[in-house]
Structure 1
C-alpha cells in the first residue's frame, strides 16, 4: 500500500522538505521545497517532483525571522488546497532529521512523548541544531496530534564504530555517561553509501572517504558501506573548519577564553558556533563564493587553511582505512565548488587521487584523472529521501 510521507530537514537558517509517495519497493518524489535565508533574506521555492516550480516567493528582510515561522508558512501551504493537490492527498506520516541521538538512539524512532523528551534532553549536545529539529515536530503535533512522526538521527549511521574509534582518552566513567565520539551528517553519508551501489558498484564495498562540505563540514571513512570513523565527534564542533565553526582546536583555548578573556560558558558556546571557521579566520564571510571572489589576503588564507585541514584529516582517515579506493564530494560546497575540489584533490595526490579538469568543471559524476589509482566522484546528497525511507520502514516494516 502506498503512503504519503513528508520528510523535513530543518537547519539553523533554512528548512528543506520533500513529500514522497512510498511503498516497500519505491519512493516517488511528489514535492520538493526549501525556505532559506531565515532571519535575513527569506526565499521560498517549491517544485514538483519533476522540477516544475509550484511556488516561488521572496520575503522582506526579517519577515521570516525564525525556523518556527518558516515551518508555519510551509505547513499552511502543505495543508492547503495547492499543497494537498501537489502531494496527492493527506499525509500519512512525517519524518524529521534530528542531529543528535546520543548513546541511546542507534536507529530511527517513532516519536511519542517519551522519545520526544529524550531527544529534547540531548539539546545541550547540539545547541545550534537540536532546537531547530524539534520545532517542526512540535508544530505537526499541534496541527495533527494523531499523525505518526519519526525521528531520523544524524548520529545513527556512525553507531557501529569500534570502541577504539569512539573513545576519548578520558576516564571510563565519562564514556559510560555518553561522552564519546558520535559523528554527524549520518543521513547524508548513509545516502551516499547506498547511492554508490547504483552509480559505482565496483567501489561500493571498498575504502571510501566521503567529504560532506557545506556550511557544516565533515569527512567520513566508509568501508563495506559502513561508517568506520568520522571527523566530527562528541558535538558538531569537531573536525575540519566550517562556515562559522572552528573544527578541532586545542581544548586549552577554551581554558584561555575562560581565564584570560573572562568569557562564560554561554559566550564561549556562541563564539565557537557562530564566530569561528571561515567567517572568523577571514573576517569577511562564511560563504566560500564570497571568499573566492574577494581580493583580501585573509579570504585566501581562510580557503587555503580549509583545504589544508581537509587534506590533513583525509590522511588520518586513509590511515584508518588502510588506503583509499575513492573520494566522494557531496553537499553544497562539495557539489558546486570546482576550484576547492581541484585544490583538495591536488593535496591528496599522494593517496593516488587525480582530477580531470573538464569533468570537474562540468560537475560530472566521475571527475577522476587518467592514471589515478583512486577514484574521485561528485554525488549530490539527498537527506530527505533517506528520511522518507527510514520513516516508511519504521512505521510499515
Structure 2
C-alpha cells in the first residue's frame, strides 16, 4: 500500500495530508489517513492534526514557541515515523502554484526542474517560493523518497489558444506571457466530483466559483477548462482577500509616474487591496459579514458584483450554463454570498433553494431552476496524491 504525503506550504503555514492507496486508477480509492496544518510559523506556532473522520487528535508533538518551516517539517516527519499505523513514505506531492510555459503536467522534482520552477517566483511571489521551500529540506531528510510537483496551472493548458492570449506582440506571447489561470487542482477535482454526482462524463457547461482568500472562476465544458478569470499571475480576475483582481494597466503607469516603485506597487496589489483594501477592516469574509460598517458592505457588494459580472462573461464563452458550483472557504461556508451571486444570475435561469443554501446542502438549486446549483467542498490534496501516484 502506498503512503503518500501531500504538502501545501505557505508563507506562515504548512498544510499536510497523508493518503493510503492500494491502487492508483481511481481517485476515490485514495484513503485519507491524517490531515493537519502548522499555523503561525515564525510566530507562536500551532499544530493541529485530524484523523480521517475530521476529529482532532489529542496526542500531538509538543510545539513550544516559534517554529520555522524546516523545524515544522522535521517535527512532522518524526511524528509520522512514530505512528504504528503509518508505513514508510512512498512519495511526497507538493502543490506548486505556477508551472510556467514548460510544465503542463506533474513532474518529478529534481535539480533541473526545481531550478526552473524557482525561476518563476516573479510570476507568483506570494506562493511560489513557499511552495518550493520544503523540497530541498525534504531531499536532505528523506533522500530516497521521490518528490512530485503538481501545478495549479496545468489544468488550464487545454484551453483554446484564443482564451490564453493577450493582445500583445507575438514575440512576447512566444516568450510565455500568456493567461495561465490558477486553482487548477481545485477545478480538476470539482470536475471529477460533478461527473460522479451526475453519473456521466458529459457534464455540459459548468462554471465553478472557487471563492476564498484567493478567488477565481473557471468555465468548463464536459470537464475541460475553457476559460478562467485569472491570467498571467494570481493577482488577476476577481477581488480577493488582499489582492485587487482586475485593474486597468494604466493605473500602474500612473503610480510609476507618481514616484511609486515596483516593490510598493507589488505590495499594494498583493497585500493591501481586495476585501481588506476596500473595507479597511479585514480580508476575512466572516468578519465583513458580521460587521455593520458601510465599508464592509461596500467590499461585499463589490466582491459579489465582480463575481456576477465574470459569470456573465464565462457563460458567454460557454454559450450558456448548465451548472454553477461554489467551492473553497467562502464558496462552501458563506451562504449570504452564494445567495447574492445566485440572485444576480437569475437571468441565466439560476434559482436557489433558500433552505438548502442555509443548510450548505450539496445541491442548492430550487426544483424549477434551469441551472444546477451545487456546493462541493474541494479537495486539492486528494488530487495531488492521485497525480503523484500516477506519475510514479
TM-score by length of 1: 0.93
Paired position in structure 1 for 2:351: 354
Name the CA distance, whole Å, in 2 between partners of 1:58 and 1:159: 43
Instruction: Evaluate the alpha carbon distance shift between residue 365 and residue 117 of structure 1 in structure 2; reply closer, same or farther with a 3 A threshold.
Output: same
Q: Distance in 1 between matches of 2:332 and 2:84?
A: 28
Report the 3-state secondary structure (helix = DSSP H, G, I; strand = E; otherwise coil) of the residue aligned with 2:367.
Answer: coil
Structure 1 residues 194-205: aligned runs within 5 Å? 194-201=192-199, 205=203
Unmatched runs of 5 consecutive residues or more in structure 2: none
Unaligned runs of 5+ in 1: none
* Separation of aligned partners in 1, 2:66 and 2:317: 48
CA separation of 1:107 and 1:263: change in aligned 2, threshold 3 A? same
TM alignment of 1:384-395, pairs within 5 A: 384-395=381-392
Partner of 1:379: 376
SS in 2 for 1:53: coil
Distance 1:111 1:150 in 2: 5
Alpha-carbon separation, structure 1, partners of 2:154 and 2:35? 25
Give 2:39's aligned residue.
36
Residue by residue over 1:299-356, the C-alpha shift from the partner in whole angstroms, topping out at 9 and shown as x without a partner, is 1000000000000000000000000101100000000001100001101111111111
Q: Give the secondary structure class of the aligned counterpart of 1:31.
A: strand
Aligned to 2:24: 24
Distance 2:116 2:209 in 1: 30
Q: What SS is found at the alignment partner of 1:242? A: coil
The alignment of Structure 1 onto Structure 2 pairs a total of residues equal to 387
Residues 1-397 of structure 1: matches in 2 within 5 Å?
2-22=1-21, 23-25=23-25, 26-38=29-41, 42-55=45-58, 63-64=66-67, 69-70=68-69, 72-80=71-79, 84-85=82-83, 88-201=86-199, 205-260=203-258, 262-395=259-392
Structure 1 residues 87 and 32: CA distance shift in structure 2, 3 A: farther
- Please report how far the alpha carbon of residue 296 of structure 1 lies from its aligned counterpart in structure 2 after TM superposition: 1.1
Contact in 2 for aligned 1:19/1:87 (Cα 8 Å): no
Distance 2:347 2:200 in 1: 22
What CA distance in whole angstroms lies between the structure 2 residues aligned with 1:213 and 1:378?
11
Is the 8 Å Cα contact of residues 274 and 283 (structure 2) preserved in structure 1? yes
Structure 1 contact 193–204 (Cα < 8 Å) conserved: no
Give the whole-Å Cα distance in 2 for the aligned partners of 1:322 and 1:185: 23
- Cα distance, 1:353–1:38 mapped onto 2, change above 3 Å: farther
**Counterpart-to-counterpart distance in 1, 2:283 and 2:248:** 22
CA contact (8 A) 2:81 2:88 kept: no
